[in-house]
Structure 1
Amino acid sequence: MKSDDALYDELYDVRSEAVELGNLVEVDPFGLIEAARERGPVQEGYLREVLGVPFWHRHRSVIETEKGRRKGFTVLSFAEAEAAFRDNARLSNRIYHMNPTDDRMLGILEMDNPEHFAHRKAAQSLFIKPRAVGMWRDRWINDIVNAIAENLGTKSRAELNMELCARVPVHTISAAVGLRGDDALIFRKALIASMGTRKGPQAQMEAMATVSRMSMEQIEIRRKTPGDDIISWLIAAEVDIPDEGKRQLSDAEIVTFCRLLLLAGGGTSWRQMGILLFALLDDRERWEAVRSDRKLLEPAVQESMRWNPNNPVFSRLAIADTEIGGVAIPEGSVVDICLAAANRDPLRWDNPGEFDIHRPAKPHIGFGLGAHMCLGRNVAESEMVVAVNALMDHFPDMRIDPDMPAPFITGGIEQRGISALHVVLK
């Protein structure tokens, strides 16, 4: 057993994650989503209220006010979801500012333009597709995937959720930041704890202190000895915010960037890779079609994001009166944009509930849309492409293990992933 196996077991179990957060749902949400969409593309009520499942909300500290719960609305169709994502003037990402102090926890996720644009621009060139396919693969992804594939080659069976899907993204983003070995998982454990309150304010404060301490240690090292890593890049980067002029990022801003990158880069990619592999292995014809024609792999990645996005709902705070799909949204309301529903809108896709690697290409919103489209989407796609290619090269006859529990997609309405993915490798 590797020294970090216990930490992976703790941090990368989708069902346990949902239990810890308190948002586990035991039913397939898509039947509920389809029934809800038939009642209208935009409805009053938060997503869980519209679906009729126990209430939980990622932004509860924002929606619960001294005057009571804010009014909520849910968007379920593609056209209306697209419009909501593009309405940056009236639908704000301030909903993500969950910390009651003035300190930001998630950086650019909590910002609106022009501040958001300036901070995103400081890091965006690191994540464009040419770098994701070139630099990220050459420096980090290829070596990490090859090492995992070689280790799997010593076995006849494996559980890919833990042994591959969890490891590739967290080691990639951690190596890119400069963390190594168990430090990456210690950081992630503290980071998750710093975002929750279930263990009490003292535990949360201790976790926040660990995140800040480990980040500052890396910043101090890179200021003395810059390298080929994200922190060195951010130290050298400038932001140009109107009325402020050009300046370098502060240490606190770099810590916040690292917090967001390690949270998203080590989390969402893990869950989506498991969903992709499950979809390919669940139908032997899909696996064989992609294995024999690797040009189908990138479309399969996109189809996985359309078919089952691992982050099925994003929210926005209305900072002015607006309307979506003819429904009035008063200032101060919260809008839940259901990506999972929009990506299976029958007005946009035929047989939307089917995973189809030959589906004619159309843009989906599995990575979000507009100004806040996922910054790391190209890196996540590269991780999935490299990992699946390696599996197909090393284990062409790989299949779901018939002697183990069948895999299924689980979690909350708000985050989805594979339960476990036991396979026969050879």
Structure 2
Amino acid sequence: MSPFDPADPDFLADPYPVFAGLRSVAPVHEHPLLGMPVAVSHAACSEVLRGRDLGRIWADAQPVEEFGAFNLLHRNSLLEREGEPHHRLRRLVAGAFARGHVARLGPWVRELADRMVADLVERIDAEGSADLLADVAAVLPVEVIAELLGVAEPARSRLRGWSNAIVTMYEPATGPEADARRAGAERASGEFVEALRELAAHRRHHPGDDLVTDLLAGSDEGRVDEDELVGTAALLLMAGHEATVNVLGNGVLALLRHPAQWRRLVDSPGVVDTAVEELIRYDPPLQLFERTAVVDTEVAGHPVPAGTKIAALLGAAARDPAAFDRPDELDIGRTRNPHLGFGAGVHYCLGAPLARLEVAAALDALRRRLPDLRPAAEPGRRPDFVMRGLTELRVTR
């Protein structure tokens, strides 16, 4: 079967039939356009995510002198470390999260989501329709990450733009488009680094009830250094913002295209939690996750020589009938749901409880305040493959 083109609009609109075709042939395929093999079955993707012979081996963006800030953020990221450096930093970040930040933020997040949806209702009533993505989905996670980190204005208002610019580097691109993305990503990275260094300097003398304060606390052996702090903050911003925006956008669109499931959510608040998991599975916000072989190994019988990258196609894993009953159906009450939306193994997402809280709060506010929610226009889709999401979701009632 021919490899898919990650820039093909028809593929981007609905990649899942292509993934099904690939799964029917083999669990792993060479993909010349992506320059690496891709795992497409749930079992093979799980191997990629969990395999001890595979790791995240960061290679600086080139030329190094042009990407100082971008490389700093990633070189010091929890996601791009393996072995003891990863365990040490993960232990510190997990310890900071364990100090009750999700519980602390819970009531505030639910109140914020409710207020945003109330404003959305007012806009719909005044103008006939409103963009759920711009007014709720894209705003909520940035506010939550800012509150978690203790970021104040003016940096707070710039977080979303920084995240959007940095993650464009993860998408396949060539020519002038790639050059523009790279320049924008480095510029945003530099501004983010400067803002977080200023925040860290302030928190050393003025501690707050935030994650940055907790990461700075402790002995020299038990605290992050400044570069690790900046890298951790960047990871939380990009992973927390991009994933939640796209789960809400993709997920609400899926619900509106399945009116019986939307009505089920409206009538049965007890399914909100399982709905969160199903929306993450049904149309995953992150479609591809790369790892690199640290020794000669194999995935599902496919050889992966040392130094070779291999990708887990999480969207393909999410529709694998070997792992899910009726995988192409949206079922917000699904109880057997081993999706890989938060990763697996040593790189399982530490922010998963916070992401679940945000999505659940938004869904609950929408089902209460807008039970008659319906689409007002065809949604706009991002021309991206790795980060799957929308540019606009206009709704009405």
TM-score in terms of structure 1 length: 0.80
- Is 1:207 the counterpart of 2:191? The answer is no
1:171 matched to 2:143 = yes
Matched, 1:355 2:319: no
Mapped to 2, the partners of 1:296 and 1:331 lie a distance apart of 45
Counterpart amino acid of 2:285?
Answer: N
The offset of 1:205, in angstroms, is 4.9
User: Map of 1:183-202 to 2, 5 A cutoff?
Assistant: 183-193=155-165, 196=169, 198-199=179-180
**Alpha-carbon shift at residue 247 of structure 1 (Å):** 3.8
C-alpha spacing 1:418/1:212, structure 2 compared with 1 (3 Å): closer
8 Å contact from structure 2 (residues 274, 335) kept in 1? no
Give the unaligned 5+ runs of structure 1.
1-21, 50-54, 58-68, 240-245
Q: In 1, distance between residues paired with 2:373 and 2:15?
A: 29
> Once the 2 structures are TM-superposed, how far is the Cα of residue 386 of structure 1 from its aligned partner?
0.6
Counterpart CA distance in 2 for 1:41 and 1:151 is: 46
Alpha carbons of structure 1 residues 123 and 322: separation in structure 2 relative to 1, 3 Å: same
- Equivalent pair of 2:282/2:318 in contact (CA under 8 Å): yes
Q: Distance in 1 between matches of 2:335 and 2:367?
A: 24
Could you tell which deviates more after superposition, 288-297 or 101-110? 101-110
- In the TM superposition, what are the counterparts of 1:154-169 in structure 2 within 5 Å? 154-155=122-123, 156=125, 157-169=129-141
Deviations along 1:268-304, one digit per CA (max 9) or x if unpaired, are 1111111121122222221121122112111111111
Aligned to 2:175: none
Moved more, 152-161 or 211-220: 152-161
RMSD, aligned α-carbons: 2.6
Cα drift, residue 409 of structure 1: 5.5
| One of 326, 330, 346 as aligned partner of 1:371 | 346
Per mean C-alpha deviation after superposition, the further-off stretch among 365-374 and 412-421 is 412-421
Q: Equivalent residue for 1:292?
A: 267
| Bigger mean CA deviation after superposition, 173-182 or 329-338 | 173-182
Preserved CA contact (<8 Å) 1:272 1:304: yes
Residue 94 (structure 1) aligns with:
57
Counterpart of 1:76 in structure 2 is 40
Matched with 2:174 is none
Alpha-carbon offset, residue 143 of structure 1: 3.4
Q: Report the alpha carbon displacement of residue 203 of structure 1 after superposing the two structures with TM.
A: 5.7
Match of 1:415 in 2: 387
Shift of 1:350: 2.6
Give yes or no for the alignment of 1:85 onto 2:83. no
Q: Secondary structure in 2 aligned to 1:412?
A: coil
Mean Cα displacement is larger for which, 413-422 or 34-43?
413-422
1:71-129: CA deviations, max 9, x gaps? x22111111211221113x1111147547659542311110022112101111145469
Corresponding residue to 1:136 among 96, 100, 105: 105
Superposed displacement of residue 385, structure 1: 0.5
Q: How many residues align?
A: 370
Q: Secondary structure at the match of 1:337?
A: strand
Pairing 1:216-235 to 2, within 5 Å after superposition = 216-235=197-216
* Counterpart amino acid of residue 122 in structure 1: L
Bigger proportion of residues as helix: 2
3-state SS in 2 of match to 1:214:
helix
| Alpha-carbon offset, residue 382 of structure 1 | 0.5
Measured in 2, the distance between the counterparts of 1:238 and 1:80 equals: 41
Tell me the distance in 1 between the aligned counterparts of 2:314 and 2:99: 23
Does residue 115 (structure 1) correspond to residue 96 (structure 2)? The answer is no
In structure 2, C-alpha distance between the alignment counterparts of 1:357 and 1:130, rounded to whole Å: 29
Indicate whether 1:34 and 2:15 are aligned. no
Look up the match of 2:249: 274
Tell me which moved more, 180-189 or 270-279.
Answer: 180-189
Shift of 1:370: 0.8
Corresponding position of 1:314:
289
Give the deviation of 1:412 after TM superposition: 2.4
Matched AA of 2:190: A
Aligned to 1:338: 313
Which aligned segments of 4 or more residues in structure 1 are displaced greater than 3 angstroms?
A: 22-25, 95-104, 125-131, 190-197, 200-208, 408-411
